[in-house]
A and B are shown apart, each in its own frame.
Chain A
Amino acid sequence: MIIGEDPVLPGALEVATLGMTMRFGGFTALDDVSIRVAPGSFHALLGENGAGKSTLVKCMMGFYHATSGQMTVGGREARIADPRDAHALGLGMVYQHFTLVPSLTAAENLVISRRDTPAVIDWARESRALRDFMAAMPFRVPLDQPISRLAAGEKQKLEILKQLYLGRRFLILDEPTSVLTPDEADEVLGHVRALCAAGEISVLMITHKFREVTAFADEVSVLRRGRLVGQGRVADLGHADMAAMMIGTSAARTPLPRQGAAGPEVLSVRGVKARDRSGLKEIAIDALTVKAGEVVGIAGISGNGQMELMEILTGQRPAQGEIRVAGRPYHATRTEAQALAVRYLPEEPLRNACAGRMSVAENIAFRSFDRNGAASRFWLAGGQMRARAAQLVDAFKVKTASLDAPIAALSGGNVQRAVLARELTGEVRLLVISNPCFGLDFSAVAEIRARIMAARNAGTAVLLMSEDLDEVMELSDRILVMSEGRIAFETPAATADLATIGHHMGGHA
């Protein structure tokens, strides 16, 4: 602070970024982004996964140091070296997941969150102070209950109260409603909105949900691929406009060349119901079919049930309803998967499809180690396993120091190549894929997509779940949109309209 300068005015802060750019090596995560959050305004930050929203707010909070660009807080330039500097300026952040200690009461959580908490706490005094603080707030949370007894909405309210208690006047909310029911979400955001209107705080909220933007925000900024692609007053924008900005209009990638027409039905999912990860919402797939020689792409913003659908299809999540492969009931046991030639490429292959400490050769053998032609085997055939792995490593160009190297030592692209080698070898009738190219470099992406397309052209039925709309457009014959745990929309890829797809992704029919 410059001596003699006017103090920053109390109440809601104005915060702005100017030409914020963040590079990680050769990758530009954030490219010349300037946004301004006016004092007392509720500003929404929209964008797909990987659009740079998190990078932007992490730069603002001092978790990252931007490669170039500036920030102003309260109208003057601010240098934020770490989150403590941000806090001192009155900037605070509420995370997607709760940061409260579940076994402590709300009062205890508030007091320990302060930086100046004394070694010996005078609880009588603190309680009085907290009661006074609560009385001045527009909404309340019981102070003497352990956090573990509070509902999710109450916890999120307490997270926001905590920021106010700590004197923060600019809040960043990172998808604050993702663990809340719709009613709870409306209540919490309503309170936040009132605080903004009263001039207590300014808010920048990261979200995927158009509905929340329209209902609560004043202004919106849209990021795509690290660039600011749209900005405006919410009152002037419709869902269609926001969707168009979010997914872009130039994104209409031409589908890859393909041959052959779709054959008979391979996968059929009927009336499948299951709980989602949070246990609060339901996943319900009424009807989903994939034919031989066809790629069915499921688009959707993350957290709308794609992960759960993958778990249902891989037998990791109990579900009611009927799943058939080639007309036969399917429960994802190893015998069924082998008999019906069903293969999987789960997202993050190292986490979901490999044993990191086991060798490359062993990981490649996961599908076939217990098969001896059509029969099963009891004794492991180590020599055959290695020979086969050597051949596949060669054919799929997996770069590894040795077949005996632990697979965790490989780069992401090579892990995915090894998994592809394992899953795409031999007859494959059905291939279920989730985000196959997430986090991979350009050349690996092209190669992996070409392999998937080759499998389709050879007559494999492919179900592709991806948060990358370009990928869905490029690979699919038919596109489905998943939203709120349901299939919300279906269209042939040839006549797909991006704006319509974006609209359905945002949760509005």
Chain B
Amino acid sequence: MADQTMIGSTGATWLPALARRSEAVVIPLAALVLGLGLFGLFLLTQGKSPVDFMAIVWKGAYGSAFSLQNTLSRAAPLLLAALCVALPARLGLVVIGGEGAIVLGGVATGALGPHLAAVPPIVALPLLGLIAMAVGGLWIGAAGALRFYRGVNETISSLLLAYIAIALMNHLVEGPFRDPASLNKPSTLPLVDALRVGNLPGMEVHWGLAFGLLACVASWVLIDKTTWGFAARIVGGNVRAAQVQGLPVGRLILGFTALAGGFAGLAGFFEVTAVFGSANASLASGYGYTGILIAFLARHNPLAIIPVALLLAGFDAASGLIQRRMDLPDATILVLQGFVFLVILISDTAYGRLKLFHPERWA
């Protein structure tokens, strides 16, 4: 009974508490290391050295000011794309179609931007950003609505909606919104310079990074510190209990999926205004899918998304260097991501089973 009378006692209770909390950090880290190990074996089968690989990744991702800034630029859309997975996940929904919201957010920006050339940028940019968020929110919100009202599996529907979004983008960019001057790569009309989002002061990294970080922190506050977030966690924990408590399950699902899609749409906005200058097929570059991996590695904790996104963005940034130095195809990074994701999914069964993390063991 000794372990059941601890409440109110002032003894050293930090160790058991630490044991429980560390579970959420140690297991994903171990999964990451295991995934890297498996990938190392894969490299050996290709006659390449895993040690060289890691050295090049370090160099290409964080080793110089240039590579670090490259990594940070890639992290911006990844942060937002990961939130598109993590927020619905807290309500128990697995949404994997963030790519569609990114693409449509970008297309909306690219299509409307040229018409706002005469509007002061201080008005036009926020307006475009909000429109991109609205479009993305509508797209992922639709998956949430289908789930709540019609019982359609949100994982499948969001993925299919992403394919529809990409097809829609191809149609719009090659058709109605095509810039006649874009010959090899059909694009929308280029944005005027005033509507291009610049870099953060003193860095070669665009403002999207700041907004991505801000979105992660805001999402964490929303989920952990507000009553709405608490209600969402109840829905995610047990939807039947949430219903018995009279919580507005439908509104929560719609609200959170729409916000998630809004973040992904914002990623598309920054890709167009800060990176490409117009909307084209490069918008569908897989950020939405990498975001799934990041969110799962971060256990859907918005703050944990930040370091994980920086890590994955680093792999992404280094892929060019790997291709050149190691003579490996650029899909190699996808192999690595696949290994890590597989191990992450398997590691989910380890939660609660390892004695190491049981508070009683340390009490």
Candidates B16, B236, B248; contact of A402 at CB < 8 Å: B16
- Report the minimum CB–CB distance from B2 to chain A (whole Å): 10
Most buried by A among B228, B231, B244: B244
* B66 at the A interface (CB under 8 A): no
Annotate B217-239 by CB proximity to A: 1 below 8 A, 0 otherwise.
00000001111111101101110
Query: With A378-B227, A379-B225 in contact, do A334 and B247 touch (Cβ < 8 Å)?
Result: yes
Report whether A400 and B4 are in contact in the complex, using a CB–CB cutoff of 8 Å: yes
* A268 at the B interface (CB under 8 A): no
9-residue interface stretch from B6-14, B25-33, B328-336: B6-14
* B20 at the A interface (CB under 8 A): yes
Total cross-chain contacts (CB, 8 A): 98
Annotate A322-340 by CB proximity to B: 1 below 8 A, 0 otherwise.
0000000000111111100
- Report the minimum CB–CB distance from A379 to chain B (whole Å): 6
- Taken together as a complex, chains A and B put the C-alpha atoms of A402 and B248 apart, in Å, by 30
Give A342's nearest chain B residue, CB to CB.
B246
Most buried by A among B228, B231, B237: B237
Report whether A356 and B4 are in contact in the complex, using a CB–CB cutoff of 8 Å: no
A376 CB contacts on chain B under 8 angstroms: 227
9-residue interface stretch from A62-70, A186-194, A364-372: A364-372
Report whether A380 and B225 are in contact in the complex, using a CB–CB cutoff of 8 Å: yes
Report whether B13 and A358 are in contact in the complex, using a CB–CB cutoff of 8 Å: no
Give B243's nearest chain A residue, CB to CB.
A316
Query: With A336-B246, A366-B234, A404-B20 in contact, do A390 and B8 touch (Cβ < 8 Å)?
Result: yes
Give A310's nearest chain B residue, CB to CB.
B244
Give A403's nearest chain B residue, CB to CB.
B7
Give A370's nearest chain B residue, CB to CB.
B227
B234 CB contacts on chain A under 8 angstroms: 355, 358, 366
* A314 at the B interface (CB under 8 A): yes
Report whether B6 and A401 are in contact in the complex, using a CB–CB cutoff of 8 Å: yes
Task: Kindly state the interface size class of chain B when it binds its partner.
Answer: 20 to 34
Annotate A299-331 by CB proximity to B: 1 below 8 A, 0 otherwise.
000000000000000111000000000000000
Candidates A355, A394, A399, A405; contact of B241 at CB < 8 Å: A355
Report whether A353 and B237 are in contact in the complex, using a CB–CB cutoff of 8 Å: no
- Taken together as a complex, chains A and B put the C-alpha atoms of A358 and B223 apart, in Å, by 13
B241 CB contacts on chain A under 8 angstroms: 352-355, 366
- Taken together as a complex, chains A and B put the C-alpha atoms of A404 and B24 apart, in Å, by 15
Query: With A332-B246, A356-B237, A402-B7 in contact, do A379 and B227 touch (Cβ < 8 Å)?
Result: yes
* B160 at the A interface (CB under 8 A): no
Annotate A393-409 by CB proximity to B: 1 below 8 A, 0 otherwise.
11000011111110000
* A344 at the B interface (CB under 8 A): yes
Report whether B246 and A378 are in contact in the complex, using a CB–CB cutoff of 8 Å: no
B226 CB contacts on chain A under 8 angstroms: 378-380
* B114 at the A interface (CB under 8 A): no
* B193 at the A interface (CB under 8 A): no
- Taken together as a complex, chains A and B put the C-alpha atoms of A358 and B233 apart, in Å, by 8
- Report the minimum CB–CB distance from A161 to chain B (whole Å): 34
Report whether A316 and B230 are in contact in the complex, using a CB–CB cutoff of 8 Å: no
Query: With A334-B248, A378-B228 in contact, do A355 and B243 touch (Cβ < 8 Å)?
Result: no
- Taken together as a complex, chains A and B put the C-alpha atoms of A332 and B243 apart, in Å, by 9
Candidates B6, B229, B237; contact of A358 at CB < 8 Å: B237
* B245 at the A interface (CB under 8 A): yes
B244 CB contacts on chain A under 8 angstroms: 314, 316, 344, 346, 352-353
Report whether B227 and A402 are in contact in the complex, using a CB–CB cutoff of 8 Å: no
* B146 at the A interface (CB under 8 A): no
- Taken together as a complex, chains A and B put the C-alpha atoms of A366 and B358 apart, in Å, by 25
* A357 at the B interface (CB under 8 A): yes
A315 CB contacts on chain B under 8 angstroms: 243, 246
Give B228's nearest chain A residue, CB to CB.
A378
B360 CB contacts on chain A under 8 angstroms: 401
Give B5's nearest chain A residue, CB to CB.
A399
Report whether A401 and B363 are in contact in the complex, using a CB–CB cutoff of 8 Å: yes
Most buried by A among B7, B16, B225, B359: B7
Give A422's nearest chain B residue, CB to CB.
B245
Most buried by B among A338, A354, A402: A402
Report whether B240 and A352 are in contact in the complex, using a CB–CB cutoff of 8 Å: yes
- Taken together as a complex, chains A and B put the C-alpha atoms of A179 and B63 apart, in Å, by 67
* A377 at the B interface (CB under 8 A): yes
B192 CB contacts on chain A under 8 angstroms: none
Annotate B120-154 by CB proximity to A: 1 below 8 A, 0 otherwise.
00000000000000000000000000000000000
B112 CB contacts on chain A under 8 angstroms: none
Candidates B4, B225, B227, B229; contact of A401 at CB < 8 Å: B4
* B3 at the A interface (CB under 8 A): yes
- Taken together as a complex, chains A and B put the C-alpha atoms of A346 and B245 apart, in Å, by 11
A338 CB contacts on chain B under 8 angstroms: 246
Annotate B235-263 by CB proximity to A: 1 below 8 A, 0 otherwise.
01110110111111000000000000000
* A351 at the B interface (CB under 8 A): yes
Annotate A25-62 by CB proximity to B: 1 below 8 A, 0 otherwise.
00000000000000000000000000000000000000
Report whether B359 and A316 are in contact in the complex, using a CB–CB cutoff of 8 Å: no
- Taken together as a complex, chains A and B put the C-alpha atoms of A404 and B16 apart, in Å, by 10
Question: What are 11 contact pairs spanning A and B, CB under 8 A?
Answer: A316-B244, A334-B247, A344-B244, A346-B244, A352-B244, A355-B238, A369-B231, A379-B227, A380-B230, A401-B363, A404-B17
Please provide the 8 A-B residue pairs with the shortest distance between their CB atoms, ordered closest to farther.
Answer: A355-B237, A334-B246, A370-B227, A355-B238, A337-B246, A314-B244, A316-B243, A399-B4
